[in-house]
């Protein structure tokens, strides 16, 4: 067998962007950078064959040059940098390369891919800062290794063979301190009470646990899988009011309770499966799930985020007997992209590096699977610097007869379908359940998974065919906890035995415990009768999918694990799933001591509006949106961007996923973490209101509308943090109950804190609310851009003095006190009235008044339509009565409000419809052909006159800056 090194470079191409970025890392004398693609290929073929592969497969004859076993470019006097994946880190591209070479008639034994950079200098180079620059900008040492001016060894990607040895963990004699130390050392992250419960269980059995038994308990009892905080007993005190109460299971008594009380018949499956399912048509349901992948994305953004969306896609895929994915959503929370490099916390990647990697990871996974990403949001706060939040969602169509969860029965086979098992993702579930710190990047590097979307697409195609042929009876995805959680949960009600040596591996060398708890991606577990095995194998061969029988379900309610025929673990299902000690926690709420600032006498409202429009949390996210394919599958009706130039914001996505049918689905989200600083209750209430408002804004209604919750919080062992979570959860019950919208699914992610020495950076309490609503006729959908000059503009809803946490106050560097209060009773009337208006075609455009208030909504609608607008604040009743200042009228972020465009001919009908529903409605101005936003105050004075092009330029400024160019 021979080994060949192939180098490919683009002719005469220099990476000016990378050179500029590297100079910013104290490398001012760097003159130029050139990138070279490197492939090391080993196999029984000749040098001529390798050259043919380079010419016909690797290189583009028009733009590339190549060399085999030689440098493709002159390297004289230049620094050579080479970067590649570490041995054992899966690279999907290498698998694709092997298949491509096989189609050329070659039979490669192995392939390794790397990238090489030639760095040219002005004078003598100073290489001292280069290592830091590479680690900060180009190589992620969690999964990659790099070489500077040294040859990267031509290393075959292999692992040492594993020699079976059963391992027991001496537990019986350990004291409390030793139990805690063991938990931390083994990355179990179990509490002392949990370790003592495990100690007691095995003492009763008269033996010590094996390593795999203890790992299984840790995975199943982790916060990520077990939701122990939400299910615990909470002693809550409100120091402000003196209220005290005991909360028994926060999740069950709030989010789940409202759904039980509403109990709509169109909710087919809620809180019992991998996603929540509602009726889309009488024959077809839609499943929706949103997950987070925060900690892995913090240390390896591209792989962490890619497997975040990949894992979330598998949730609706694994709901009932399987769904067909139709749409992705993504909501990201990052530190400030323009944070000075020297202010990045120790051990933490720069926010821009995280942002670029996360965006690219989600982009590549969704695009390659052929699933549109059509809804999302991007938020920034310095407190997300060490702990980004990566919310990924997926919706899927599921025929009604396959929409409910099935359980395996005794005698059925345990079958794994999809990718092989590797070391990627070891301790992922337990890692996601603890705080990050400056050492997390290296200590928990094994918790990062590497995704392969092409493999998952093949698995999907196999599952849908097997489902329709009714070849399996139960299904779940292999996510957090790996086979441990997937098989353990499937067998909870009966029992299961597993032969771990039968699991397909990516490479040799894994021990039995690693096989069991690895979170390697693109794997599903199905239960099937033995009589269907031959048909399943045939189908797997046709779809080029790996299928392996690894066990059988039994009726003894035990989990039995074997390796090479020897028992390595045996646990009762009762202990595994119900044995975790219940947590008792303390929560204490103390309202922050805040006040309203004294505003300046004179305000340049146009300058303030431009500043808000260009703020990171308001500005255009086009540079992200354009990376996602939101047209694939041909179902998009309302797209993320629209308007005359197809680059202005819409409030929600609308798709029509069934060919030939006009039934549509609106998908939106609400998230307002800045309000948590004032009161998490109203933060949560506003998130619900915003999500529903966005549904209304595109023509939806509260009928057949469902919600998902995703709580991301800090360390809830701290009473103040937990009190905020309690208040947010209570708001979910209170507000959703009034609106009459059920929750159908959700997920929580706690311990989102980053420790640096003695300092802890805690994220703001963050609740993402996702909403989906069925549109009986998506042809009635409404976009946000103004349609015609001369049309009337109405603001529907009340504007109040609620600038607390607003973007206006942020321009002044203050927080304020008056958080927007959600009057859900009044707002429900507004939403019902506007739904009726859009159903009859009265609303020509609509936009919610959210971040930045009325002024931002009017500006976005105007430049979206390529028109202007005039606003007359004297028509607002509180302004007329002297209760609101001009700044409050323009920039208040009061809930429930929408700005609506109506034709002159329809104005009276619209006003009467609003009146009948009791919806406050004010004719506040109109659309104009002149491209200006003009605002008159309560005394009819002109207080703003801004060119629409200038406002749009401010809004788009950050989408054009060079600092956002991707480097992944």
Q: Are residues 500 and 516 in contact, defined by beta-carbon separation less than 8 angstroms?
A: yes
Cα separation, 198 vs 206, whole angstroms: 12
Cα-trace Rg, the chain: 29
What is 674-738 written as a DSSP string?
A: GGGGT-HHHHHHHHHHHHHHHHHHTT--STTEEEEEEEE-S-TTSHHHHHHHHHHHHHHHHHHHH
- The 10 Å Cβ neighbour count of residue 548 is 17
Please, is 967 exposed, middle or buried when counting C-beta atoms within 10 Å of its C-beta (0-12, 13-18, 19+)?
middle
Active site residue 293: yes
Tell which residue, 687, 889, 872, has the closest CA to residue 792: 872
* Beta-strand runs (E) in 621-679: 636-638, 641-642, 648-649, 653-655, 664-670
Q: Are residues 64 and 4 in contact, defined by beta-carbon separation less than 8 angstroms?
A: no
Helix or strand holding residue 950 (H, E): helix 948-960
What Cα–Cα distance (Å) separates residue 57 from each residue in 4, 50, 481?
A: 15, 10, 39
Tell which residue, 938, 955, 959, 937, has the closest CA to residue 947: 955
Instruction: Give residue for tokens 């419960």.
Output: 197
- 3-state SS class at 400: helix
Q: Are residues 664 and 654 in contact, defined by beta-carbon separation less than 8 angstroms?
A: yes
Cα separation, 775 vs 702, whole angstroms: 10
How does strand 547-553 pair with strand 413-418? antiparallel
Instruction: Please list the helix, strand and coil fractions of the chain in percent, rounded to the nearest 5, in that order.
Output: 35, 25, 40
Residues facing 108 on adjacent strands? 43
Cα separation, 123 vs 615, whole angstroms: 41
Q: In the structure encoding, which two tokens stand for residue 199, read together?
A: 């100690």
Active site residue 807: no
What is 468-488 written as a DSSP string?
A: HTT--SEEEE--TTTHHHHHH
Q: Are residues 429 and 224 in contact, defined by beta-carbon separation less than 8 angstroms?
A: yes
Cα separation, 820 vs 896, whole angstroms: 10
Q: In the structure encoding, which two tokens stand for residue 133, read together?
A: 């620059």
C-alpha distance across the termini of the chain, in Å: 33
Q: Are residues 373 and 332 in contact, defined by beta-carbon separation less than 8 angstroms?
A: no
Alpha-helical segments (H) within 740-852: 807-812, 824-839
DSSP label of 505:
B
Cα separation, 664 vs 705, whole angstroms: 12
Angle, helices 211-221/483-490, rounded to nearest 10 degrees: 80
For residue 767, report the phi and psi dihedrals to the nearest 5 degrees.
Answer: -120, 120
Q: In the structure encoding, which two tokens stand for residue 632, read together?
A: 């694939």
Q: Of these residues, 293, 427, 630, 917, which one is catalytic?
A: 293
Please, is 859 exposed, middle or buried when counting C-beta atoms within 10 Å of its C-beta (0-12, 13-18, 19+)?
buried
Cα separation, 680 vs 674, whole angstroms: 9
Point out the residues that are catalytic.
224, 293
């Amino acid at each position: 067998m021979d080994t060949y090194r192939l180098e490919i470079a683009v002719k005469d191409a220099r990476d000016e962007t990378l050179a500029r970025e590297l100079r910013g890392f104290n490398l001012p004398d760097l003159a130029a950078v050139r990138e070279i693609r490197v492939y090391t290929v080993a196999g029984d073929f000749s040098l001529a064959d390798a050259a043919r592969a380079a010419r016909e497969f690797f290189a583009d004859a028009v733009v590339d040059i190549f060399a085999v076993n030689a440098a493709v470019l002159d390297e004289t006097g230049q620094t050579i940098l080479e970067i590649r994946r570490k041995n054992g880190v899966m690279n999907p591209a290498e698998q694709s390369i092997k298949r491509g070479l096989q189609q050329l008639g070659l039979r490669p034994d192995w392939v390794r891919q790397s990238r090489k950079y030639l760095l040219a200098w002005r004078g003598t180079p100073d290489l001292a800062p280069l290592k830091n620059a590479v680690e900060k900008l180009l190589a992620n040492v969690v999964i990659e290794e790099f070489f500077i001016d040294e040859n990267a060894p031509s290393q075959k990607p292999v692992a040492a063979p594993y020699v079976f040895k059963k391992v027991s963990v001496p537990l019986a004699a350990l004291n409390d301190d030793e139990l805690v130390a063991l938990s931390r050392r083994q990355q179990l992250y179990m509490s002392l009470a949990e370790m003592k419960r495990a100690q007691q269980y095995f003492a009763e059995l008269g033996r010590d646990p094996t390593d795999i038994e203890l790992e299984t308990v840790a995975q199943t009892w982790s916060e990520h899988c077990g939701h122990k905080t939400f299910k615990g007993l909470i002693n809550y005190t409100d120091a402000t009011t003196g209220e005290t109460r005991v909360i028994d299971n926060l999740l069950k008594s709030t989010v789940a309770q409202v759904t039980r009380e509403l109990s709509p018949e169109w909710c087919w499956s809620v809180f019992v499966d991998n996603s929540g399912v509602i009726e889309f048509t009488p024959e077809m349901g839609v499943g929706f799930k949103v997950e987070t992948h925060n900690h892995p994305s913090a240390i390896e953004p591209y792989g962490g985020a890619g497997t975040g969306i990949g894992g979330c896609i598998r949730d609706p895929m694994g709901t009932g007997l399987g769904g067909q994915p139709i749409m992705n959503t993504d909501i990201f929370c990052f530190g400030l992209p323009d944070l000075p490099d020297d202010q990045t916390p120790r051990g933490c990647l720069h926010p821009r590096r995280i942002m670029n990697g996360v965006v690219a990871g989600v982009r590549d996974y969704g695009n390659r699977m052929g699933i549109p990403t059509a809804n999302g949001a991007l938020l920034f706060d310095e407190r997300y610097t060490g702990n980004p939040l990566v919310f990924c969602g997926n919706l899927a169509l599921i025929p009604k007869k396959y929409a409910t969860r099935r359980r395996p029965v005794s005698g059925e086979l345990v079958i794994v379908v999809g990718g092989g098992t590797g070391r990627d993702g070891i301790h992922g579930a337990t890692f996601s359940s603890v705080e990050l710190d400056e050492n997390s990047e290296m200590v928990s590097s094994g918790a990062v998974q590497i995704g392969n979307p092409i493999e998952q697409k093949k698995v999907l195609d196999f599952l849908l065919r097997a489902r329709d042929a009714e070849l399996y009876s139960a299904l779940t995805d292999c996510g957090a906890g790996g086979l441990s959680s997937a098989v353990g949960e499937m067998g909870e009600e009966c029992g299961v035995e597993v032969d771990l040596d039968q699991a397909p591996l990516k490479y040799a060398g894994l021990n039995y415990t690693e096989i069991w708890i690895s979170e390697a991606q693109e794997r599903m577990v199905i239960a099937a009768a033995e009589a269907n095995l031959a048909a399943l194998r045939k189908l797997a061969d046709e779809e080029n999918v790996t299928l392996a029988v690894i066990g059988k379900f039994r009726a003894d309610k035990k989990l039995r694990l074997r390796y090479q025929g020897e028992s390595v673990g045996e646990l009762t299902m009762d202990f595994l799933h119900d044995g975790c000690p219940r947590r008792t926690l303390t929560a204490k709420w103390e309202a922050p001591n805040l006040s309203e600032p004294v505003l300046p006498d004179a305000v340049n409202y146009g300058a303030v509006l431009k500043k808000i429009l260009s703020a990171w949390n308001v500005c255009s996210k086009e540079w992200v949106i354009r990376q996602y394919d939101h047209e694939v599958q041909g179902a998009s009706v309302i797209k993320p961007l629209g308007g005359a130039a197809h680059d202005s914001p819409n409030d929600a996505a609308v798709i029509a996923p069934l060919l030939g049918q006009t039934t549509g689905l609106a998908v939106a989200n609400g998230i307002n973490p800045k309000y948590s600083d004032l009161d998490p209750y109203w933060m949560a209430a506003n998130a619900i209101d915003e999500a529903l408002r966005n549904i209304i804004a595109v023509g939806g209604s509260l009928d057949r509308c469902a919600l998902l919750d995703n709580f991301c919080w800090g360390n809830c062992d701290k009473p103040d943090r937990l009190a905020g979570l309690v208040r947010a959860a209570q708001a979910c019950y209170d507000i959703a109950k009034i609106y009459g919208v059920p929750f159908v699914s959700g997920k929580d992610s706690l311990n989102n804190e980053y420790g640096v020495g003695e300092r802890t950076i805690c994220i703001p309490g963050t609740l993402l609310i996702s909403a989906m609503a069925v549109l009986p006729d998506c042809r009635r959908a409404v976009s946000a851009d103004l349609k015609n000059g001369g049309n009337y503009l109405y603001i529907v809803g009340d504007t109040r003095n609620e600038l607390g946490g607003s973007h206006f106050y942020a321009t002044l560097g203050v927080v304020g006190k008056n958080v927007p209060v959600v009057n859900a009773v009044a707002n429900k009337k507004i939403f019902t009235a506007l739904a009726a208006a859009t159903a009859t075609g009265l609303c020509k455009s609509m936009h919610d008044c959210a971040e930045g208030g009325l002024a931002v909504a009017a500006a976005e609608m105007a430049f979206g339509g390529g028109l202007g607008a005039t606003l007359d604040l004297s028509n607002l009743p509180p302004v007329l009565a002297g209760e609101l200042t001009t700044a409050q009228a323009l920039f208040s972020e009061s809930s429930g409000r929408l700005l609506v465009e109506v034709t002159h001919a329809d104005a009276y009908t619209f006003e009467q419809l609003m009146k009948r529903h009791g919806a406050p409605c004010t004719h506040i101005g109109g659309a104009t052909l002149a491209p200006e936003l003009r605002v008159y105050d309560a005394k009819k004075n002109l207080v703003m006159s801004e060119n629409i092009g200038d406002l749009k330029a401010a809004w788009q400024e950050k989408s054009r800056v060079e600092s956002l160019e991707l480097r992944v």
